[in-house]
Amino acid sequence: MVNKNVTFQDWGLIDYKEAWDKQEKIFAETIKLKTEIRNLHTENLGKYEITPNYLIFCEHPHVYTLGKSGKAEHLLLDKNELIEKQATYYPINRGGDITYHGPGQIVCYPILDLDNFFTDIHLYLRTLEEAVILTLAHYGLIAGRYPGYTGVWFDADNENARKICAMGVRCSRWVTMHGLALNINSDLSYFKNIVPCGIDDKDVTSLKRELNNEVNINEVKEILKHHISVLFGMEIL
């Protein structure tokens, strides 16, 4: 039995470590439940709930996170400079290199049991990218993918290439955590302190910069949530 019901939560502005710990708790509980269900005899399955799914949005205070495949030297600040920037730094257990999170950026954490949807991590990433591409299209912007990299870009095929959405996920037993970060009204100067996603020759942008005006971030959240739900066939709770 599959479960396409997804509990939506907006955690607002939340400390990165607090959000990470909350994710880890849900992630671990979901994997534990999956293990228990699979260890049961078929006739006893009805005694257990099906695995849950969550779609979480939030914003973080200024923070840099380094994925498992990243290089510490891609953070261009020392400890004192981090303090001056009022930023924190965490090496974490997602894929990808270093990235920045901060106010004005939508961070999306889907904690999904992909057995409820499709068991293909590449399709999972491409589907999240497509949701962002469709969200940007709502604002009259044509975005796309950069061959060989995850995330969403503008003008990926020429020298004006610039990234608006970074992605990095973790998946165990087809349960996901971490996700994507979409720059809306972000302070882009913070990206100058890293080699974003290990790419040192491409620009980073935001929806505000592309439209040349401040954007209602809550409106973008609703549009993004809609496209994610439709593309995955979710029933948002």
Expressed in angstroms, the distance from the first to the final Cα of the chain is 19
* CA-to-CA separations, 66 to 17, 49, 63, 75, 185, in angstroms, rounded: 13, 35, 10, 9, 22
Element (H, E) at 205: none
Residue among 108, 165, 171, 197 flagged as catalytic? 197
Catalytic residue at 171? Answer: no
Catalytic center residues: 197
